Chains A and B, each alone.
Chain A
Amino acid sequence: MTSELAFPPGLIMVLGAMLIPFLRGRQRLLLLLGLPLLTLVTVWGLPGDVSLKVGFLDYMLEPVRSTAEGRLFATIFAIMAFAGGLYAHRQASATELTAAFVYAGSAIGVTFAGDLLTLFVFWEIMALGSTLVIWSAGTQSAYRAGVRYLLIHLLGGVILMVGIVAHAIESGSLAFTAMQPDSFGNWLILIGFLINAGAPPLSAWIADAYPEASPGGMVFLSAFTTKTAVFALLVGFPGADILVPIGLYMVFYGIIYALLENDMRRILAYSIVNQVGFMVTAIGIGTEMALNGAAAHAFAHIIYKALLLMSAGSVLLMTGKRKCTDLGGLFQSMPVTAINGIIGALAISAFPFTSGFVTKSLETQAAANEGMLLVWLLLLAASAGVFLHAGIKFPWFVFFQRDSGLRPKDAPWNMGAAMVFFAFLCILLGVAPELLYRFLPYPVEYEAYTAGKVVFYLQLLLFSGLAFFLLLPLMRRTETISLDFDWIWRVGLVRLLRAFGRAWNRVSDALAAVLDTIGSRLGRGGRRYFGSRVDDGQQVHGMFARAWPIGTTALWIAVLLTAYVFFYYLA
């Protein structure tokens, strides 16, 4: 059905967010809870195949296109905004909440984008909104991390835009449909998507920027950017073989870096890369079951990762501490935060009867069904690794290990309520997976609970737990960070430029000396033709120099024209 009345569901939160600064207290909370609900109603009120089409130059734009994948992601994004608003509203500033809701709304905008241009516009609003969320923490380190974050995403945006233009020229269409990485434009689009997913070599921005945000800020950040990228890959590049090795790299990158990390929210940030790696691998496998798995895993992941970060955020808020070396023993005075954190940890580890179990197992099963032995073995090892690096490590070092002596109060009621809501969803989806399965893009013929699967997964996880406690002496926390590819531009490039600067200074000093000698000889003649600088800074133009201002203008015009002609022929 083509309707001209289809309102882009993403705009409800983007526009509604503008009201947040004008409301206080309970009214603001009502708005924060009402906007996501209104979005949900709109998403599910749209007819299943609705489409809003607008002509643009020679192309057809489709700002609203309702698909099963889009509705699924829009739903979880709205639920996330609901719980995030509840969690953050008493602690976060109006700016932060507004930015977070614009960010969430534009993520929903992406899920309804029927063409690449609409996708791109929402994609960029997301980059701006999320940067504002990071900056809202108000610290110097957050400011700088936000700038680095923005630069990466602007770079990703440029790559995506060039890709979209090239794709439009190659294929004559802007429609956002399944592609293959087989042309210049499509490759760039794929790279643009992958940058937002946290793929190598640009994975570091997640652990660099997100943990600098406020407690509530990181909860929002964890959900939208990377999962919108998963959505875009799911729709745009299902079955692209290259995604399998990329996803597997991400899976193990996340585990290794999280194992080395000391900052509790950075552990969880690396764990985002790990989880998205599972989804990217599944999208690369590309069968219906694998794509269902990726979509379902993204849905479940948003909930339990947000829950984990809510728990970590509460600890940060109440103690002001973020390093495992400073924490421990908090279960005694923060039981609500601890229990909810543990439920999130069990869910991310895919314990039976949690949401992780019924979603991630679709992905591993899909690898097995395709006879991808190595992929299956690696995903299985990684599943064990998830328990190791997030499932036990986070609760153990924050709430247990040795007693740090800290006795903070438990989280405020709104944070506790948001955590309980998400913990409930983790378990609900775990015990009643068909609630989620019926909304997946393809029909599900998969039995999540067989005696074998439950026992085998329990064995996998419990013996990972044994490994954790036996190897605990090897995992003593140190006050360290781990270098990543971002070292190249944060340190390497700076050093290179400084060295270059020093070399240039030496060369220019030598040149200046030579020129001085020549200059003093030619000086008299030069002053006559070109003019000289008088002591008070005013220039006296010589004979030739009277035309300089005009000359400069002409030069610039020539440069611009050359550039224009160059790009004209390039296109």
Chain B
Amino acid sequence: MKESSREPRTASQPEAKKHWLYRSENLPKLWVIQILVLVLAVLPEFFLHHHPHFEERGFTLDGTFAFYAWYGFLACAGMVALAKVLGIFLKRKDTYYDE
């Protein structure tokens, strides 16, 4: 499928004129901020007690360390992968129905 071929404006613009979000020197900083936020979100794990919802059924996975974090990450990765695979069969050019 055709990727958008138009050159983004940022590529031709001098670095200083760009919004700071788009300056390449700031990209590592943005990642650092994101990782910091993720660490902050996991920190309370050490103080909170998980209550597994389905203990009587022998399922205690939701009581494991940072369950919601890794489950959310894996679920999203799985869905992106599934969409990628289905896209092979389902995607058509966006003018497909126009004829």
Contacting pair B72 A403 (CB below 8 A): no
Write 12 A-B pairs (CB below 8 A) sorted by A numbering: A256-B82, A260-B91, A329-B22, A368-B54, A380-B68, A452-B51, A455-B41, A461-B72, A464-B75, A464-B76, A483-B92, A490-B97
List chain A residues, Cβ under 8 A from B66.
459
Q: Of A259, A404, A459, which is within 8 A of B69 by CB?
A: A459
* Interface residues as binary, B2-34 with A (CB distance below 8 Å gives 1, 0 otherwise): 111010111001000011011000000000001
Contacting pair B69 A460 (CB below 8 A): yes
Q: A373-B57, A403-B22 are in contact. Are A455 and B48 (CB under 8 A)?
A: yes
State in angstroms the CA–CA spacing of A256 and B8 once bound together: 27
A452 to chain B, nearest CB (A): 6
In the complex, A476 has a CB within 8 A of chain B: yes
Band of interface residues on B:
35 or more
List chain B residues, Cβ under 8 A from A466.
34, 38, 73
Interface of B is mostly: helix
State in angstroms the CA–CA spacing of A384 and B79 once bound together: 10
A544 to chain B, nearest CB (A): 49
Contacting pair A402 B8 (CB below 8 A): yes
Kindly name the residue among B72, B81, B92 whose own CB sees the greatest number of chain A CB atoms within 10 A.
Answer: B72
Contacting pair A260 B1 (CB below 8 A): no
Q: Of A455, A456, A481, which is within 8 A of B92 by CB?
A: A481
Interface segment, one of A79-87, A194-202, A467-475, A502-510: A467-475
Contacting pair A256 B86 (CB below 8 A): yes
A residues 87-135 near B (Cβ < 8 Å) are none
State in angstroms the CA–CA spacing of A474 and B88 once bound together: 13
Kindly name the residue among B41, B49, B78 whose own CB sees the greatest number of chain A CB atoms within 10 A.
Answer: B41
State in angstroms the CA–CA spacing of A562 and B37 once bound together: 75
Band of interface residues on A:
35 or more
Q: Of A323, A460, A476, A482, which is within 8 A of B72 by CB?
A: A460
Enumerate the 3 nearest inter-chain pairs by beta-carbon distance, A residue then B residue, closest first. A405-B9, A467-B76, A381-B75
Kindly name the residue among A252, A464, A465, A491 whose own CB sees the greatest number of chain B CB atoms within 10 A.
Answer: A464
A225 to chain B, nearest CB (A): 22
A residues 290-337 near B (Cβ < 8 Å) are 323, 325-326, 328-329, 332
List chain A residues, Cβ under 8 A from B89.
483
Contacting pair A468 B76 (CB below 8 A): yes
A387 to chain B, nearest CB (A): 8
Listed in ascending order, the chain B residues whose CB lies under 8 Å from chain A are: 1-4, 6, 8-10, 13, 18-19, 21-22, 34, 37-38, 41-42, 44-45, 48-51, 53-54, 56-57, 59, 66-73, 75-84, 86-87, 89-94, 96-97
Q: Of A387, A403, A405, A471, which is within 8 A of B80 by CB?
A: A471
B70 to chain A, nearest CB (A): 7
Q: Of B8, B22, B77, B87, which is within 8 A of A482 by CB?
A: B87
List chain A residues, Cβ under 8 A from B4.
325-326, 477-479
List chain B residues, Cβ under 8 A from A461.
72
In the complex, A458 has a CB within 8 A of chain B: yes
In the complex, A255 has a CB within 8 A of chain B: yes
List chain A residues, Cβ under 8 A from B8.
328, 402-405
State in angstroms the CA–CA spacing of A302 and B82 once bound together: 29
B54 to chain A, nearest CB (A): 5
State in angstroms the CA–CA spacing of A10 and B36 once bound together: 51
In the complex, A424 has a CB within 8 A of chain B: no
B25 to chain A, nearest CB (A): 16
